[in-house]
Chains A and B, each alone.
Chain A
Amino acid sequence: MLVVLLVFIFLIIALFDAPGLVRKKYWRELAVYSGLMLTALLLSILVVIGAPLPAVTTEITNLVKAVYRLTGLK
């Protein structure tokens, strides 16, 4: 149900933005816009269905900690 609602919200946003880009023949903008919106939709669905996504920033902390261990700084 939440996924359907999400797709609906994204469709509404796209209906606000995309027609203007088509009217002005801004094809490059439309291509990047579509790419970003599809990525956002896909990620949102994954978050909503509770798919195990990597905690980006926590992974960065782990990487820095590994560098600390290797260099013996901490």
Chain B
Amino acid sequence: MTSLKKGTIAGYQLIYLIIGFSLGSALVFAPGRAAQQDAWIAIMIGAAESMFFALIYTALARRFPGKTLVEIEETVFGPYLGKLIAAIFLWYLFHLASIVIRNFTDFFTIAVMAETPSLVFAVLLVLVSALAVSYGLEVIARCSLILLPITVFLLTTTFLLQLNQFDFKNFLPILEISFWDLLGASHALAAFPFGETVIFLMFFPFLDRPKAGRGPTLIAILLTTLLLITVSARVIGVLGAAAGLATYPSLEAIKFINVPFVSLRLEVIVMINFLAMGFLKISLLHYGTVLGLGQIFKFRSVRPLIIPVGILMIIFSIINFSGISENIEFAETGYPIYTLPFQLGIPLLTLIVALVRKLPRRPVKC
């Protein structure tokens, strides 16, 4: 293990990290919005597709235990082509981080603090993320042990508090949209948030048993599916067709919670959840990018990369889009196709070439 990969995490911590990472910004956007009232079906199909992706990721991790995707690419494709493919993959992590930061700042400037410049949120978030990255993956994993249970508790509580407002007719008619539209919505879900777990190809080597990543990954996808169905069901059950009109349907749905004799602003729950999971997601993307760059340039420490990469992420978050409508259009139209080469293409190609070249070669015994 090189000095860049410091610390180990246990299998159960990987489950926490994957769930936290996948929930990330999916908590505020209604997952499967394109499938309307069939979003819960789209989530299940999308999860099934992403499990196929996960089998590819974990097959790679089992074949090259102790190696990150950057190191695997160099082993499989050689030092030059391998570095080039690794750099393309790192662009995805970097770009995704900048998009998540933008989602985050848009949410806070549109829905919470309209007078505060978005740069303030971006800088604060990246500073915290930089601090977490400088401490390493172990610390981020420990943070997830605290943050995820809080988020799941708040999600479950708000779901239960809104059960009496559910209009189950909102879920009907089932499968009204065309088969192809349903498949399109399911693939969009496989790309966001499930397929983004491709980033864990950078973190499987941190496992105390690097070959044992498959079980935790599949369990995490299953649990994330359940949680996303909860979020989606609440939005559809409470808002119905109006969910399609809201920029942040979860936030709109939660405004309907009515506790007798108490005046509560429960929107803060959505904000806490988004803050907690957004922090985990950005920290992991920040760490993945920095670690990968460090390995490409054969650094002895990732520390010098943390701040410059963080600043570049903030700048890209500003120049990514000119407005929220472009952001939503990208999420619905561009993202499911744009991510295919990163989430499926690179890992699958690497696995096939490794199989054909019979890599890694075992050392010849004399």
Enumerate chain A interface residues (CB-CB to B < 8 A): 13, 17, 21, 26, 28-30, 32-33, 36-37, 39-40, 43-44, 47, 53-58, 60-61, 63-65, 67-68
Number of A-B contacts (CB under 8 A): 87
**Main SS at interface, chain B:** helix
Instruction: Determine the chain A residues whose CB is within 8 A of the CB of B272 once the complex forms.
Output: none
Query: Quick check: A67 and B309 within 8 Å, CB to CB?
Result: no
Query: Quick check: B311 and A44 within 8 Å, CB to CB?
Result: yes
Q: Which of B300, B311, B327, B329 is most buried by chain A, counting CB atoms within 10 A of its CB?
A: B311
Query: Quick check: A13 and B307 within 8 Å, CB to CB?
Result: yes
Instruction: Determine the chain B residues whose CB is within 8 A of the CB of A44 once the complex forms.
Output: 311, 315
User: Bound state CA distance, A29 and B304, in angstroms?
Assistant: 7
Q: Is B261 an interface residue (CB 8 A)?
A: no
Q: Choose among B301, B305, B329 the residue that contacts A61 (Cβ–Cβ < 8 A).
A: B329
- 23 A-B pairs in the complex with CB atoms less than 8 angstroms apart: A13-B307, A29-B297, A32-B299, A32-B304, A32-B305, A36-B309, A37-B311, A40-B308, A40-B311, A40-B312, A43-B312, A43-B319, A44-B311, A47-B318, A47-B319, A57-B95, A58-B320, A58-B330, A61-B329, A61-B333, A61-B334, A64-B333, A64-B338
Q: Which residue of A lies closest to B308 (CB)?
A: A36
Q: Is B159 an interface residue (CB 8 A)?
A: no
User: Bound state CA distance, A69 and B309, in angstroms?
Assistant: 35
User: Bound state CA distance, A68 and B334, in angstroms?
Assistant: 10
Q: Which residue of B lies closest to A21 (CB)?
A: B304
Instruction: Determine the chain B residues whose CB is within 8 A of the CB of A58 once the complex forms.
Output: 320-322, 326, 330
User: Bound state CA distance, A23 and B122, in angstroms?
Assistant: 32
Query: Quick check: B297 and A57 within 8 Å, CB to CB?
Result: no
Further pairs besides A29-B297, A57-B95: 20, Cβ < 8 Å: A17-B303, A26-B299, A26-B304, A29-B304, A30-B304, A33-B304, A37-B308, A40-B312, A43-B315, A44-B315, A47-B318, A55-B319, A55-B321, A56-B319, A57-B321, A58-B321, A58-B322, A61-B326, A61-B329, A64-B334
Give B30-68 as 1s and 0s: 1 = Cβ < 8 Å from A's Cβ atoms. Answer: 000000000000000000000000000000000000000
Q: Is B108 an interface residue (CB 8 A)?
A: no
Instruction: Determine the chain A residues whose CB is within 8 A of the CB of B338 once the complex forms.
Output: 60, 64
Q: Is B337 an interface residue (CB 8 A)?
A: yes
Instruction: Determine the chain B residues whose CB is within 8 A of the CB of A39 once the complex forms.
Output: 308, 312
Q: Choose among A17, A57, A65 the residue that contacts B326 (Cβ–Cβ < 8 A).
A: A57
The 6 closest A-B CB pairs, nearest first, are A36-B308, A61-B334, A57-B320, A40-B311, A33-B304, A64-B334
Query: Quick check: A28 and B297 within 8 Å, CB to CB?
Result: yes
Give the distance to chain A from B361, nearest Cβ to Cβ, in Å: 29
User: Bound state CA distance, A55 and B185, in angstroms?
Assistant: 25
Instruction: Determine the chain A residues whose CB is within 8 A of the CB of B326 once the complex forms.
Output: 55, 57-58, 61
User: Bound state CA distance, A47 and B330, in angstroms?
Assistant: 22
Q: Choose among B300, B312, B319, B321 the residue that contacts A36 (Cβ–Cβ < 8 A).
A: B312
